[in-house]
Amino acid sequence: MTEVENNGQIQSILLRHDRSRDSLIPLLQEVQGGLGYLSQQAVAAVARYLGVSENDVFGVATFYSQFRFNPPGRHCVKICQGTACHVRGSGLLVEAIGRNLHIVPGQTTADGKVSLESVMCLGSCALAPAVVVDDTVYGRITQKKLEKVLEGIE
């Protein structure tokens, strides 16, 4: 996406929200939903629209773990580290998958294919360990099964 297209997208998101402070988080969520992350330019646009400083917007955005400031990979793998998943070995799983991909949670593979995240509790504890690949939840996952899923995506 070019910068101009990005700008257009950000503007159309902004116009759907009131210019009030409580629109800030929903705005950031929608911008990230569209762009995949919060670019510096997006943060500036949101700040201007709401009439607050960029510092203020960064202050809020960095407080919440949902927000990213770098472009994500084409696919997102979230490995749950909730309690139930932890006692069923998800710590080893995240390590093993990270080792295969040569990244640690929070990073994206060099080819831009996969971003790896470890997240706290997806709420699928009964089927622990759980993993979300893009929008699909996989329960009772094993290293082998997850490797297969990753092989199947482009």
Partner 1 sequence: MSLNNLQARAAESWAAFVRTDRPRILVGAATCGRAAGAMQVLAAFREHLEKRGLSNQVLVAEVGCNGLCYAEPLVEITGSDGRRVLYQQVDEKLAVKLLESHVIDGEPVAKKALAVVEGETVRGVPPLSRLPMLRGQVRIILRNCGVIDPTNLDHYIALGGYSGLARALSQGPLGVIEEIRAAGLRGRGGAGFPTAQKWTLARNAPGDQKYVICNADEGDPGAFMNRSVLESDPHSVLEGLTIAAFAVGAGVGYVYVRAEYPLAVQRVELAIRQMRENGLLGSDILGSGFSFDIRIKQGAGAFVCGEETALIASIEGRRGMPRPRPPFPANCGLFGRPTNINNVETLAAAAAIMARGAAWYAQHGTEKSRGTKTFSLAGRIQRTGLIEVPLGTPLRRIIEDIGGGVAGGRKFKAVQTGGPSGGCIPARLLDTPVDYEHLAEVGSIMGSGGLVVMDEDSCMVDVARYFLTFTESESCGKCVPCRMGTQHLLRILTDICEGRGTRAQLEQLHRIGLTMRKASLCGLGQTAPNPVLTTLKYFEDEYLAHIEAGHCAAGVCRALIEFCIDPEKCNGCTACALACPVAAIEGSRRTAHRIAQDLCIQCGSCRTACKFDAVSFRPRTRQPVSV
Minimum distance from residue 137 beta carbon to partner 1 (Å)? 4
In the bound state with partner 1, the residue whose beta carbon lies nearer, of 90 and 108, is: 90
Could you tell me whether strands 75-80 and 131-133 are parallel, antiparallel, or unpaired per DSSP bridges?
antiparallel
Q: At what angle are helices 40-50 and 54-63 packed, to 10 degrees?
A: 120
Minimum distance from residue 72 beta carbon to partner 1 (Å)? 15
In the bound state with partner 1, the residue whose beta carbon lies nearer, of 26 and 71, is: 26
- Using CA atoms, how far apart are residues 10 and 16, in angstroms rounded to an integer? 10
Residues near 1 by Cβ (< 8 Å), separated by ≥ 6?
9, 35
Which residues inside 52-111 make contact with partner 1, applying CB under 8 A?
A: 59-60, 63-67, 81-84, 86-88, 92, 95-96, 99-100
In the bound state with partner 1, the residue whose beta carbon lies nearer, of 12 and 83, is: 83
Residue 126 burial (10 A CB sphere; 0-12, 13-18, 19+): exposed
Minimum distance from residue 6 beta carbon to partner 1 (Å)? 21
- Using CA atoms, how far apart are residues 66 and 87, in angstroms rounded to an integer? 25
Helices (H) and strands (E) in the chain, counts: 7, 4
In the bound state with partner 1, the residue whose beta carbon lies nearer, of 11 and 83, is: 83
Examine residue 46 and tell whether it contacts partner 1 (CB under 8 A).
Answer: no
Backbone angles phi, psi at 123, to 5 degrees: 80, 20
Stretch of 34-42, 69-77, 129-137, 146-154 contacting partner 1, by CB under 8 A: 129-137
Q: Which residues in this chain contact partner 1 in the complex, by CB under 8 A?
A: 20-26, 28-29, 59-60, 63-67, 81-84, 86-88, 92, 95-96, 99-100, 119-128, 130, 135, 137-140, 143
